[in-house]
Amino acid sequence: MSWFKIFSAVVVGNIVSWAIIGIIGFFLSFVIMEATMEEIFGGRPTFSVPSSSSQQPSIGSNVDLAEQAREEQLRLQQNRRQQAEERTDPSVIRTNRQMCEFWTEEFKKDGSEQSRKYRDAACSR
């Protein structure tokens, strides 16, 4: 085989390979887009006009929904705080108090900066 025939075979092989890869990529992009659209819209999108205006929520109801969502969020936050306070074990409180007292005494004894930092951290709990 001559050099030109080998070169031509390699070029044609590369072109065919890139064409196959392009077709497969194009097909996969449509499959991925379709799956994404189904996930976003909950099914295939339909482009129909609603039959009556009563199905469309009014602006006032949107405001009411936003207020209800805010109130619900505030209620959830209050419940979380309350549960966190209820979960505080008395032994944890006692241990924290003992640590605070210990580091307060240590700071009184040596007056070092390190003891003061430990005291501040222990007493802030």
Q: Which is more confidently placed, 64 or 11?
A: 11
Give every CB contact of residue 119 below 8 A, 6+ residues apart in sequence.
Answer: 100, 103, 104, 106, 107
Task: Looking at 42-89, list the stretches that DSSP marks H as alpha helix, in order from N- to C-terminal side.
Answer: 59-87
| Domain spans, the chain | 7-43, 89-125
113-123 and 90-110 helices, crossing angle to 10°: 160
Query: Mind listing the pLDDT tens digit for each residue in 13-53?
Result: 999 999 999 999 988 888 888 878 777 776 555 556 555 55
